[in-house]
Structure 1
């Protein structure tokens, strides 16, 4: 049986959420890496949920993220039009459930009025500046998007430009984007 040090190390993604002028956008790159090798360049890490009312992007282990997105969808069905409550309930389950506790992923979730970062540590964080990012290139995309917020660019343009900057800096991020808008 392999231990954690001998298993492949899956790295990288960049997910960015921007809300500006009544528009909410989540953008995600498509690169999946194993060690120093790019194994896929066009993965789709951003999804629409709740009949198109919610967007979610994920970073981390894909199967773990899909499990969390399925759980989030169930919470959204249980609490329609209550994104904050659904995210808090998911985070609570994620932190306390023995199975979920082992999942290695993060979610960036948004509707037309709010953005939340949801983690397995029980965090549900709403950004101060209407911009949030996760993943290996997240800090680069976050900084670029924050710098662009005072321009005349709309939310989608800001997200695309910031993701382009992150792709130029982070080796685990590429320019193959999935962009969803509300």
Structure 2
């Protein structure tokens, strides 16, 4: 059986908070749209962290569970939980075969976590993963740099732009956000 894949997630952080946006398309193999309305982002740890995935759906669900357990163990410290997940993901014989990426954010950090041990915090507080990630990333960077849009608006518009270019990204967009202290 071919694997189901989730695709594009974009995250934006600024002084007012952070937001992650995800498209709803799930692709079976390389050429069949299996679902239009999947939700690939969710709030974790008492609604203080947003996480999104791109890649194999089953693999991503496993990683969400592992990341939630690491958050509990680290008492909500997202950076420590991300590093612990990346270490386990890279060193475990079964986990290292998982094909997915995570994009996670809280009010202080935006991180990309991979199975090869990387925990990357983008310099410009904008990150994207998945097949439409490069398109969403470029749009989000320009929108953040040249407009006064909120993090939520930048994430939404960047993903909307990616959906117009990438065949593995649709415009059924879900956005989750965390507002900063004012």
The bucket for the TM-score relative to the shorter chain is over 0.9
TM-score normalised by L of structure 1 = 0.93
Equivalent residue number for residue 181 of structure 1: 177
* 1:13 counterpart = 2:7: yes
Aligned with 2:67 (options 66, 69, 72): 72
Equivalent residue number for residue 3 of structure 1: none
Q: Tell me how far 1:85 sits from its aligned partner.
A: 0.5
Q: Tell me how far 1:21 sits from its aligned partner.
A: 2.6
CA RMSD of aligned residues (A): 1.1
Q: Tell me how far 1:37 sits from its aligned partner.
A: 1.6
Equivalent residue number for residue 148 of structure 2: 152
The separation in 2 between residues aligned to 1:17 and 1:159, in whole angstroms, is: 6
Q: Is the 8 A contact 2:6 2:40 kept in 1?
A: no
TM-score normalised by L of structure 2 = 0.93
Deviates more, 1:133-142 or 1:28-37: 28-37
Describe the superposition over 1:101-121 as per-residue Cα deviations: whole angstroms up to 9, x where unpaired. Answer: 111110001111101000000
Unaligned runs of 5+ in 1: 1-6
Equivalent residue number for residue 140 of structure 1: 135
Q: How many residues align?
A: 176
**Change in CA separation of 1:12 and 1:83 when aligned onto 2, cut-off 3 Å:** closer
* 1:32 counterpart = 2:22: no
* 1:99 counterpart = 2:126: no
The separation in 2 between residues aligned to 1:17 and 1:33, in whole angstroms, is: 21
User: Once superposed, which parts of structure 1, at least 4 consecutive aligned residues long, lie more than 6 Å away?
Assistant: none
Q: 3-state DSSP class of the match of 2:54?
A: strand
Unaligned runs of 5+ in 2: none
**Change in CA separation of 1:65 and 1:12 when aligned onto 2, cut-off 3 Å:** closer
